[in-house]
Structure 1
């Protein structure tokens, strides 16, 4: 398939900034722009696979990967999280500044459309787990001015805003309490600033607390179907229905942990398993409410996909399942652009 004929894919979640930060390569932007063997995403791989852009997450890992007595990961301190967040944001802006127009940090849906039209990689500044922000929310307003347009209040750990759902299989997502008072203030501020609220990694009580408070579409950027894979990170039918009712979106996670019925991290997983989650969401809540949220550079994906260069294979499989051109375009990019435009208002 020629590059010009590739279906553009706008993706709901990747962790390339953390991968670049951890690599220690300086300057970090060169690895992304010039390409490298490691990783799922860089600019050459994106161009080869038709990856037109996506939500580029900033995630600050726990100080230790050993859970506490409650089975929860420990969140970093607010000063440490802010320092790491700024460092990864700088990598994103350095990539844009040195890309000669090949990468654009997008702040509006029109920016995304224009980037897709010109062939530039459309990056959205997203934070996964907002530990960088204190209860006063001062840093939120500054980060928004810097381009932050999407955030998940939690990763899978507690913080001052909410209780992220632990990684458990098999398990209901109904684990732990919901939003704190600070968390409710955060949601109101996100609505005021028109920052998209990402429900992936929220536990069920937090999900419903946000559903009651927020006036924006409900979006889970990289989550799958609990009825197919009973992982705590996946969405129940009732949650899927609520997403539909608000005009929201589910980004299907490519992580095999969240796709397989057995919950095993086995890369030898057929794409049929991923497509069953797409089909289920389409049949349950409609074609306008499903997209991709790959979790590239953050999880183990099916070996047949390999990395961003494998996206045309996924597009071809959608077509083989009978999805027409309009439906494929919605899943691949149209639905993301629509929900972001309705959330951001621009």
Structure 2
């Protein structure tokens, strides 16, 4: 098996939603969701970014997002901003869940803060985790909480999920649509970028709109990274990256993690899991063409999206590796995509 280091998952949301079942969800080989410790071990999951994501309150008149995404075209309204007073208790709970997962694993799982720790885990067969924040709702405009979460192990942060924050604006879920959907970073957002650079926290460009992307590109001294995004030229979703954005990522020495979410993979924009490998491999080919062999990784979005039936869950991720082999990718390239490129870009970002 090729070890896979993954750019994004939402497993912490499952623990938040089912606190009385966390032992079962984490330690037992399950059939629901995409992740648990036994399936990670069975599927060659070497580690990844575990996201703190703040769910939006569900309004009684909210549209049926899943139904809409089954029938493109669609342009779904974004939820309202969530302030840091509301978000911080949820974010703290999720950070605590990740630390609990480490303790409960009996040494099989470790939260890492350096690339040296990531490499040591890979060598020893220990699954590694990076504490990541998908949307900076829990960070106050003065950035005091950023330092607190950094002390807890936060090493990666996306300024926005798709809804707005005090720092910037995300892309809506829309197909067909480009990512140029609104204003860029706020003044607080520019301070956030500079402080993340100072603390060596990786900045994630997934979900941010195009104006915000270019604001970050102009400010940051680190490689540009999108942990779980795909190619807009293949699937014209607002969540995917244009060739011009890919060129900027390449020129910065950054990378993109392929998102397994079907609505960002399928050329027709549908969310259905019933799909083959053609569109998946088309995205990988396009990303490799525009980013080079050192600029492409994997960013599954496990437990946060509909995944192609050929993968199913983390236990089936080696099916994607085998599809790459059949497509003509050599073992050296596959190893880069599967884990080596993530370590390279984190080494440059974290120092």
**Structure-2 residue corresponding to 1:251:** 257
**Structure-2 residue corresponding to 1:3:** none
4+ long deviations beyond 3 Å: none
Q: Which runs of 5+ in 2 are unaligned?
A: 64-75
Structure 2 CA distance for aligned equivalents of residues 45 and 39 of structure 1: 11
Q: CA deviation at 1:262?
A: 1.0
Q: How does 1:212-223 map to 2 (within 5 A)?
A: 212-223=218-229
Structural RMSD (CA): 1.4
Structure 1 CA distance for aligned equivalents of residues 133 and 236 of structure 2: 26
Q: CA deviation at 1:260?
A: 0.8
**Structure-2 residue corresponding to 1:13:** 8
Deviations 1:240-289 (A, max 9, x none): 00000000000000000001111011110112211110111111221110
Native 8 Å contact 2:255 2:291 kept in 1: no
Q: CA deviation at 1:30?
A: 4.6
Native 8 Å contact 1:218 1:246 kept in 2: yes
**Structure-1 residue corresponding to 2:32:** 38
Q: CA deviation at 1:19?
A: 1.2
SS at match of 2:17: helix
What TM-score comes out, normalization by structure 1 length?
0.95
Structure 1 CA distance for aligned equivalents of residues 187 and 169 of structure 2: 12
317-326 or 171-180, larger mean C-alpha shift: 317-326
Deviations 1:120-167 (A, max 9, x none): 111100010010011010000010011000010000011100011111
Q: 1:188 aligns with which of 173, 182, 194?
A: 194
Structure 1 CA distance for aligned equivalents of residues 89 and 172 of structure 2: 25
Structure 2 CA distance for aligned equivalents of residues 326 and 9 of structure 1: 14
Native 8 Å contact 1:63 1:75 kept in 2: no
1:63 lines up with 2:57 in the alignment: yes
Q: How does 1:1-346 map to 2 (within 5 A)?
A: 6-26=1-21, 28-64=22-58, 66=62, 71-345=77-351
Q: CA deviation at 1:29?
A: 4.6
Q: CA deviation at 1:116?
A: 1.1
Q: CA deviation at 1:329?
A: 0.4
SS at match of 2:156: strand
SS at match of 1:104: strand
Structure 1 CA distance for aligned equivalents of residues 20 and 339 of structure 2: 31
Q: CA deviation at 1:31?
A: 2.2
Structure 2 CA distance for aligned equivalents of residues 189 and 29 of structure 1: 36
